[in-house]
Chains A and B, each alone.
Chain A
């Protein structure tokens, strides 16, 4: 049984207490636990969330497996999501995905062996006038070309090496 720091547990519990029903806090609790556990929700995170929110574990599992941004398996330090909805499709997102896959040597849904990147498709990022578009971590990148993808990945690797992870 893993435990989490008392301070975090209190923060999560207090957040739930702020609502008329503790369950309203569940997704926020899962997001916080996911950050605590290195980007995904291991089994013990589900147990902890159930305990803190005060609902059965299967309910938590149901929620944790429903949403695109809650992960039940380990992911890379940075998640690359490439929009493959219609406007980006027209503007060449396939060539963007192909370049990322070739460059990182991974398929869609996979993580690089060094644990740096996980590649996923995403629903329209709401940036269609600057298609094709993607996010890496919190950053949005647009008007992409395959060569621009190389530059972006190069600079991320360079800053990771320099310790700016």
Chain B
């Protein structure tokens, strides 16, 4: 699925290209996927995000020099019983963030399996980033940074250790992904500002819904 293009005016009057990219979040339940994305999108973190109270679908833009990248972030179901459903989520994704918890070695093993699966089944041009989350828990680290770094290099992945709690490398991770995404592959630019999401549009239509018989 191709990314969609558009354009928007900056404050200085220059006209930027807007590129929409689908980004999926993968990783075992409890590694902090939702915290990471909430920190990126809303700049928030809460210790009370018990086993991920977060958000299932979110959008966020990143401004590059001449392009605005709009991420459409899809949170996937990470539980083992939903594993067979994952391909439906990453189908057509241009970017994926595979998250593990540096204080839990099993989640790193699982992350490697996700990477393997993406390389086998997702779009060949997908940009994959590996995020070692909970970097603030260095004292109880189970996954050495060198091991993850070397695995990422061997597999051509972007890699960063992140902490949603201390806001370490969160913006940097998404910025690195935005930079690596192929903007030239976008569809024909569409004039106008960012389109409202479907639910906003539904509200504009009134009567609280959108179904027409």
Query: Is this pair of chains taken from one and the same complex?
Result: no
Partner-A contacts on B (CB < 8 A): none
A interface residues (Cβ-Cβ under 8 A, vs B): none
